[in-house]
Amino acid sequence: MYYINEDRKLLLGALLFLLLISLQAVVAFGEESKDVQIFEVRKKLQMTASDPIVRDYYVNAGQLVGLKQGASVNVFRKVPLADPFKQETQAHVELPVGVMKVIYSDRTMAIGRIQNLRPSKDSPVLDGDIFMVGDRVDLGTINFEKSASEDKGESDTKSAGKSSNDEEAEVPQKAEAEDIQKPAKKPSRTSASTTPVKPKETGKTEHKTAKSLEPEAKTVEILSR
């Protein structure tokens, strides 16, 4: 009897575990299958006429489905088409409204703002040109690409770093070019090597002149005799 009760307990525990897993799967499937849409719009109060109009759009899904801060996602509006002759709704047309950028999100909710709107020139007419409650957020269009201003800032930073590196590389090249263009310095006269001048031998020259005068003195003496 004791063993039978233990087996029943194990069986009941396994059944409860399977039931819990199935309930979680059903809930998750329901969360994924339901439309992700805007359920509330809040507008910032304008104190003056020059204050910009700021609207926050609350979405009924968040990080669990990929709506994280910085993500861009397309927004669509389902427009019913009624047949006035048959007095019945014929179909629904889903039209693009624009692109929303997520500025905040948690597990089950996200807040976004308008990033850009569809061009009204070549688009069908809508009741409102901006996002509205009930507009569908297409999770298949989630994108984390950087905006043009961020790309421009990064390109400016890279170009500035490249120009600084080019300037640093040009400095030694300019120095080398200046060294090549400078003419070689001519040796100065003062620095030229001069051979030492030997001092005149005065004693020997006087002795030679004295010897050369002796014959003349002898001739004068003979003539005087």
CB burial of 93-126 (b: ≥16 within 10 Å; e: otherwise) equals eeebbbbbbbeebeeebbbbebeeebeeeeeeee
What pLDDT was estimated at residue 196? 53
- The first and second tokens of residue 186, run together, are 């001519």
| Domain locations along the chain | 38-149
Q: Work out whether the CA dihedral 144, 148, 151, 153 comes out positive or negative.
A: negative
Angle at 65 between CA 71 and CA 42, to 5 degrees: 60
What pLDDT was estimated at residue 192? 44
Which of 96, 52, 102 is closest to 72 using CA atoms? 102
Mean of the per-residue pLDDT values of the chain: 74
Indicate the SS3 state at residue 90: strand
What pLDDT was estimated at residue 2? 47
What pLDDT was estimated at residue 5? 73
Give tens-digit pLDDT for 65-109. Answer: 999 999 999 999 998 887 777 766 667 889 999 999 999 999 999
Number of residues in the chain: 225
Stretches in the chain below the pLDDT threshold 70: 1-4, 24-34, 87-90, 146-225
Angle at 200 between CA 198 and CA 205, to 5 degrees: 145
What pLDDT was estimated at residue 172? 57
Q: What is the rounded distance in angstroms from the CA atom of residue 136 to the CA atom of residue 139?
A: 9
What pLDDT was estimated at residue 81? 81
